[in-house]
Amino acid sequence: MTVTLAIDCMGGDHGPTVTVPAALDFLRHDPDCSMILVGLRDQLLPLLGKAEAEFGPRLTIRHASEQVAMDEPIATALRNKKDSSMRVAIELVKSNVAQAALSAGNTGALMAISHFVLKTLPGIDRPAIASVVPTLHGHTYVLDLGANVDCQPEHLLQFGIMGSMLIAALESKERPKVGLLNIGQEEIKGNEVVKRAGELLKTSGLNFFGNVEGDDLYKGTVDLVVCDGFVGNVTLKASEGVARMMSAALREEFNRNWRTRLTALLTLPVLNAFKHRFDPRRFNGASLLGLKGIVVKSHGSADALAFFHALEQAALAARNKLPERIAARMAVSSASV
Amino acid sequence: MTVTLAIDCMGGDHGPTVTVPAALDFLRHDPDCSMILVGLRDQLLPLLGKAEAEFGPRLTIRHASEQVAMDEPIATALRNKKDSSMRVAIELVKSNVAQAALSAGNTGALMAISHFVLKTLPGIDRPAIASVVPTLHGHTYVLDLGANVDCQPEHLLQFGIMGSMLIAALESKERPKVGLLNIGQEEIKGNEVVKRAGELLKTSGLNFFGNVEGDDLYKGTVDLVVCDGFVGNVTLKASEGVARMMSAALREEFNRNWRTRLTALLTLPVLNAFKHRFDPRRFNGASLLGLKGIVVKSHGSADALAFFHALEQAALAARNKLPERIAARMAVSSASV
């Protein structure tokens, strides 16, 4: 199926120097995909010229005169920058010119503008952000990752539905296993919101596994872990912190003296294979879920390879009609209430 | 200063085979310490005999006819087992025969019995559990770790006070830096409870750093991180999950073929040094805070070395009069309200 992606080329720490090459790579990789590069024409053209890119139906530029800064307050981005590359990309999805928008820009602004422009699907109170974390031999989806910090049980149920549909769309897994993040596997554990969310998930018709604990995220116990955005955000950042600390300690030990530095050389293939397994670039791309349209957030520091992975995800979500799936599942859910 | 520790010798996955040797080791290590070994006399005596331990004022047995199972419901442990080794050890603290109790048993039961027998200090609504996580070159204290899942801002303030006093007692650091776990460093971020807790901490007279994020736990940004028990528990378990996954992946990569196995042999000193840095045994011992007495929880799977570390912590807390410090600080805090 042919899909068109609208790319906010100005977002992220590296802007068009990363987004443009990644987009061109992806065009070569996926012959049924078209791209609209959104941003300052004067900055995009030289990069495209250098890459000898050919304009045509598959590759167009849409000039946008403004850009949202990485540290820009959400309110300013939303109200004062009507012609930002971020907003224009999202509006291309709204008007159905593109089937998905991508940005490596400011997460808060992206969420606010997406919410304002696209609106939520019927039955969805709040959009959420979903991403994946690695396991030993696979990965686990998690949501919410920070968009919703004060959740009611109904929101956690909606996260379960949206996440299940995301996995169905991206991995062709029709009944992904859903776990509820809690502090113990017994049903009596947890705070009041989580306890009631467990009851809702149990009768939701989803493939609900039950409660899972923090370490289950990295064990692959379930396909999807549902939690409120506060817990999700803190947990993921702590996990990144542990991974970075362990990597730094390993580097320190290998750098201790000439003997250990020599063993590091000998161990290089092993260390590289290890590094590759948890390379965050392979897991780049967080989906904004619950909107009337597809928006994918790339990490701000993404390089071209990482941005490519986010593009891949956006195209897959568009081809598998993610918003329609969520809307259909929500309709079933509301009908059964 | 002479201190007496009451040890629940029956708790933990390994019971007296771990707790008794660790206690005897600690007696040799700390000549000003006395021990009361609590448990089934018939099980303790042979182990003491084998180790040729000498009874006397520094080493006594206090027979307790029951024990709390690791999976025992809290209510049963509390109501039906009045002569459990766990309860008897705590009652020795209550009657001031011992200055601290230690157990590797069921956490929920230990918290419930400690709370019931010792009661909380004036001004403390709920006891909390504090522990440490490693950083690259040190460690960070965190509380709460699961005792309190629905916290009010006042509870987070109390955690800040109790944790600060814990660090003052264990590390002679009089004004430890306190961070509030949140999803962003800006004051406007976070859920309602956390935002209000931030305001309380700011005017508390503690050395309040401000908001910290998940990865700050492992960066050593502050000495103490305060959070509700739900977030703390999930975050720590997720962190353990990441660490275990990374270690398993490293093992897998080194075990891939004869060549990688050979490099593993050459790298052994480096890998062992790396392993030692994050050896959880070195960080064993979680403090139950806010009670009229000292109770330290050892990990259930602790070996003798890990249990030794928990004993060390209990003796230090007793010598530095941790409950008295918390009570004094709470009195100042209440007076200023």
Minimum distance, in Å, between the CA of residue B219 and any CA atom of chain A:
7
pLDDT digits (tens, 9 = 90+) for A288-323: 999 999 999 999 999 999 999 999 999 999 999 999
According to the model, what pLDDT value does residue B185 have? 60
Q: Which two tokens stand for residue A210?
A: 């039950």
According to the model, what pLDDT value does residue A53 have? 86
How many interface pairs between A and B have CB atoms less than 8 angstroms apart?
Answer: 170
Measuring CA to CA, how many Å separate B8 from each of A156, B39, B105, B120, B322? 41, 6, 8, 21, 20
Q: Are A84 and A106 in contact (CB under 8 A)?
A: no
Closest CB to B246: pick one of A150, A243, A248.
Answer: A243
pTM: predicted TM-score of the whole model, two decimal places: 0.93
Closest CB to B270: pick one of A149, A214, A254.
Answer: A254
pLDDT of residue B259 exceeding 70, the answer is yes
Q: Which residues of B touch A226 (CB under 8 A)?
A: none
pLDDT of residue B294 exceeding 90, the answer is yes
Which residue has tokens 């928008």?
A: A101
Which residue has tokens 């309602």?
A: B192
According to the model, what pLDDT value does residue A187 have? 59
Interchain CB distance below 8 Å, B136 and A245: yes
* Mean of the per-residue pLDDT values of chain A: 93
Q: Which residues of A touch B274 (CB under 8 A)?
A: 249-250, 253
Measuring CA to CA, how many Å separate B325 from each of A16, B120, B317? 57, 14, 10
pLDDT digits (tens, 9 = 90+) for B28-64: 999 999 999 999 999 999 999 998 888 888 999 999 9
pLDDT digits (tens, 9 = 90+) for B130-145: 999 999 999 999 999 9
pLDDT of residue A186 exceeding 80, the answer is no
ipTM of the complex: 0.91
pLDDT digits (tens, 9 = 90+) for A251-283: 999 999 999 999 899 899 999 999 999 998 999
* Mean of the per-residue pLDDT values of chain B: 93
Q: What is the chain A residue with the closest CA to B71? A: A186
pLDDT of residue A337 exceeding 60, the answer is no
**Rounded (10°) angle between helices B304-319 and B16-29:** 50
Q: What is the chain B residue with the closest CA to A239? A: B239
Minimum distance, in Å, between the CA of residue A74 and any CA atom of chain B:
12
The whole-number average pLDDT for the span A150-179 is 95
Minimum distance, in Å, between the CA of residue A244 and any CA atom of chain B:
9
Write down the CATH number for the domain with range A128-283.
Answer: 3.40.718.10
pLDDT digits (tens, 9 = 90+) for B65-114: 999 998 899 999 999 999 999 999 999 999 999 999 999 999 999 999 99
Residues of chain A with CATH 3.40.718.10: 1-124+290-322, 128-283
According to the model, what pLDDT value does residue A55 have? 85
Distance CA B97, CA B106 (A): 23
pLDDT of residue A17 exceeding 90, the answer is yes
Distance between terminal CA atoms of chain A? 35
pLDDT of residue B270 exceeding 60, the answer is yes
pLDDT digits (tens, 9 = 90+) for A70-106: 889 999 999 999 999 999 999 999 999 999 999 999 9
pLDDT digits (tens, 9 = 90+) for A108-155: 999 999 999 999 999 998 899 999 999 999 999 999 997 788 899 999
Interchain CB distance below 8 Å, B183 and A233: yes
Interchain CB distance below 8 Å, B248 and A136: yes
According to the model, what pLDDT value does residue A118 have? 98
**Residue B333: band (very low, low, confident or very high) from pLDDT cuts 50, 70, 90:** confident
Closest CB to A277: pick one of B249, B263, B269.
Answer: B249
- CATH class of this structure's domain A1-124+290-322: alpha beta
Q: Count CA atoms closer than 13 A to B331's CA, side-chain side.
A: 6
Minimum distance, in Å, between the CA of residue B74 and any CA atom of chain A:
12
pLDDT digits (tens, 9 = 90+) for A222-250: 999 999 999 999 999 999 999 999 999 99
Write down the CATH number for the domain with range B129-280.
Answer: 3.40.718.10
pLDDT digits (tens, 9 = 90+) for A247-256: 999 999 999 9
What is the maximum span of chain B, computed from C-alpha positions, in angstroms?
Answer: 69
Q: Which two tokens stand for residue A312?
A: 């891949």
Phi-psi region of A33 (alpha: psi -120 to 50; beta: other; left: phi over 0): beta
Interchain CB distance below 8 Å, A270 and B248: no
Interchain CB distance below 8 Å, B238 and A218: yes
Q: What is the chain B residue with the closest CA to A195? A: B149
Interchain CB distance below 8 Å, A274 and B231: no
Q: Are A103 and A298 in contact (CB under 8 A)?
A: yes
pLDDT of residue B296 exceeding 70, the answer is yes
Q: Determine which of A126, A140, A183, A257 to mutate to test the interface with B (most B C-beta atoms within 10 Å).
A: A183
Q: Which residues of B touch A276 (CB under 8 A)?
A: none
Q: Count CA atoms closer than 13 A to A244's CA, side-chain side.
A: 15
According to the model, what pLDDT value does residue A188 have? 61
Correct CATH for B1-124+290-323 of 1.10.1740.10, 3.90.950.20, 3.40.50.300, 3.40.718.10: 3.40.718.10
Closest CB to B213: pick one of A237, A246, A252.
Answer: A237
Interchain CB distance below 8 Å, B214 and A239: yes
Minimum distance, in Å, between the CA of residue B202 and any CA atom of chain A:
21
Residues of chain B with CATH 3.40.718.10: 1-124+290-323, 129-280
The whole-number average pLDDT for the span A27-56 is 94
According to the model, what pLDDT value does residue B14 have? 95
Q: Are B157 and B142 in contact (CB under 8 A)?
A: no
